[in-house]
Amino acid sequence: MIESSGCRRRRLAARPSFSVDVCDCGAVHLTVGYTTMRLDEGAFREMAAMLSEALSEMPEPRSQRLH
């Protein structure tokens, strides 16, 4: 658990350059590199759905198409 500005955060997911935490107050903290965005839960869910939609529209990576 991470504490900052009086709120306690719980890590939901992480990769080397990305992380998602949720705060006691309900804010979702999306960190990409050195930049963190604070989103309410609804905005985070909407963004996650949009990214999933975009990913489904992308062609397969070139390395996977060669097989």
| pLDDT, tens digit (0-9, with 9 covering 90-100), for 38-57 | 999 999 999 999 999 999 99
| Amino acid found at 35 | T
Count of structural domains, the chain? 1
With a CB cutoff of 8 Å and minimum separation 6, the contacts of 26 are 40, 41
* Integer Rg of the chain from CA: 15
Q: By mean pLDDT, which of 1-5, 6-10, 20-24, 35-39 is the weakest?
A: 1-5
The predicted model scores a pTM of 0.77
Three-state DSSP at 33 gives coil
- Give a yes or no: residue 28 inside a domain: yes
Specify whether the CB–CB gap between 28 and 41 falls below 8 A: yes
DSSP state of 67: -
- Give a yes or no: residue 38 inside a domain: yes
Q: By mean pLDDT, which of 25-29, 41-45, 56-60, 63-67 is the weakest?
A: 63-67
Domain hosting residue 27, numbered range: 2-58
